Every structure is written in structure tokens, then in C-alpha cells.
Amino acid sequence: MNNETDTGKPVSEDDRIEAYGKIVKKQDFLVFISSNFFSCLQKKDYTGCHSHLKMMELIHSGMEELCNDPLMTSLPISYSAMYENIKWIITVLKELLEDGKWDKAGDFTEFQLIPFLKEWPEDTYFWLMIYPDKEKQAKYYADTDFKKYPCELILLNDGSTDGTEEYFSQLPVKKVITLKQNIKTMIFSLMYRVCEGKYAVFVNNDTLLTARWLDNLLFLYPVRSGHYIGGSQHPHTSNRQGMVEDFTPENAEEKAEKHNRPIPYLWEERCRLMPVIAIYDIDKVNTIGFADRYFSTLEFWG
């Protein structure tokens, strides 16, 4: 959105908020349409599916102008990247429908299109209509109330170009989130939209897991005692979260053997955790409203 009207007059704050509000309403409407589209998919109603896709495509294309908004370049918002990701998903869904791949189209809709469209307006609303107003931020956090979305195995491909998408497509995993463009930390908040468990455990792509890693995370005192997050130690990690052991892929199991044990008196509190591997209590995540968008570099989540 430009800072001036066609007449050259400055855009007032109220006008700016109203314009952004209309975009968020369109995004919310896309969520509604996608839900109806999913219903048509389940009925294998080709005409209904095609009609809803056409409507989504029309509304979505009308939101491209905001990608060039000057404010976008000054904020860690993923609007433009998400615009392209949703555009890609709509294209994929059209191809799947033409090929009669109803089940695949259903998975794409349930685990990608709908979660993407639910997450997109929240990100837009926060960065363009709430931030950096302190009073609005305080009210935003006080009013946040999301439903619970617990967890299972979910594969996240955040804009990789190294064959990850092709590899994931060969795996017997239903919940695969593929993004054509990297959306930074928004991927973690997006992940919670399709979780169905008590805890969500995030594992970074360059992490080598050793024996009992999950057992120890689930046994962590911070999680069991009602705190929000539990993390683990790793070599080469900042904030005194790293380990002194000289780990290599070859000796990882041997070196980890003396560390992968539940020893409560060694647990420590940290003001910041680097979530190379981290366990999140879904109830706590839902209470605070998924990931805090203000900390866009992913740190200080604990």
C-alpha cells in the first residue's frame, strides 16, 4: 500500500489500517472457501471443486499488489513468500484434479492449503495492524485464544531446492508441508496448525539423533512440571547449550551414551534456547498463541 493516495495526499493511519483490514478479511474468506473446497473434494464433486479453486485463484491474485508494499521490506513478515506458496498450491491442486488424484488433492488441501490460509492472515494482521503499537500488542497477546492442535510426524520443507521435496514425496507420510519459498520462523507456527498430540517435538534438518533422545525430552522436568519448553544439548550450539565432547557422525552414539540419561540435577534454566531439538507443550503453545511473531529470529522462545 502506498503512503499517498492518487491525489497525492498522505494516507492517514486509519485509512492504512482499513486497507490492511480488507486484505485480512480476504485472507479469512479464502479460509472459508478452502474448507468448502475440501468438502467438495471428499464428495469427488469436480464441478464444485473447480468452481471453488477458480474463486480462490481470483481472490488470491487480487492480493498481489500488497507484495510490493514498502512496509514489507522493513518488517520480518512473510506475506510475499506466502502469496507465492499459496499460488503454487492452487496450481498443484488444479493439476491433481485434472489427473483425478482425489486422495492426493485431499492431503494437499488438508495439510497444506488450509493450514497455510489459516496462518497467513494471522501473520498479516500482527505485522501490519498490531506491531509496533505497544497497547495493541498488549491487547493482542491478552486476547489470543487458539484451539488445541496436538502433534504427530510432520515433514517440513521450507523452500529447499536440493531434492527434499522429491524425497518427501516418496515417503509414506501423510502430513508433508512444502513451501516453494522460505518463510523463516513462520514455518514453526504453521506446523502447530496440523499437530495432533500432547507435545510437539521439533528436530532440525542437520541434527543427528542418538539413542534415547526422545525418551529424555519427554522426561524433562520443565515439561512435566508445567513450564513451556524443554531443549537439549548439542555440539556447536550457543548460549552455553553446547557440549565439550568432540562429536563426529562416526562416534556420536558412543559419546552420547554418557549424556543421554535423565539426570535431574544437571538440568538448568536458560533465558534463551536454540531449538535444534526442542519439545513444546501444545497446551502452553496454544495458551500464548503459537509462536511469538515479534521474535522473528526464532530465539528467546523459552
Least confident of 125-129, 223-227, 280-284: 223-227
Cα gap 81→115, rounded to integer Å: 15
The residues pairing with 178 across neighbouring beta strands, listed in sequence order, are 157
121 vs 13, higher pLDDT: 121
Read off the pLDDT of residues 115-151 as tens digits, 9 standing for 90 and up: 999 899 989 998 999 888 888 877 776 654 434 333 4
Q: What is the pLDDT of residues 228-276, one digit of tens each?
A: 444 455 555 666 666 656 777 777 777 777 666 655 555 666 666 666 7
Q: How confident is the model at residue 214 (pLDDT cuts 50, 70, 90)?
A: confident
> 283 falls in which pLDDT band (50, 70, 90)?
confident
Its sign, for the CA torsion 13, 15, 21, 23, is negative
The confidence score (pLDDT) of residue 298 equals: 57
Least Cα distance to 237 among 160, 299, 296 occurs for 299
% of the chain with per-residue pLDDT over 70: 71
User: Which of residues 19 and 198 earns the better pLDDT score?
Assistant: 19
Q: Is 182 exposed, middle or buried (0-12, 13-18, 19+ CB in 10 A)?
A: middle
Which of the two residues, 70 and 9, has the higher pLDDT score? 70
Q: pLDDT-derived band of residue 95, with 50, 70 and 90 as boundaries?
A: very high
Q: Are 124 and 23 in contact (CB under 8 A)?
A: yes
Q: How confident is the model at residue 204, as a pLDDT?
A: 79
**DSSP three-state, residue 164:** helix
- Tell whether the model's pLDDT for residue 280 goes beyond 90: no
**Domain annotation for the chain: domains and CATH numbers:** 13-147 (1.20.120), 198-288 (no CATH)
128 DSSP assignment: I
Cα–Cα distance between 213 and 240 in angstroms, integer? 19
Per-residue pLDDT at 2: 52
Q: Do residues 166 and 251 lie in contact, with contact meaning Cβ atoms separated by under 8 Å?
A: no
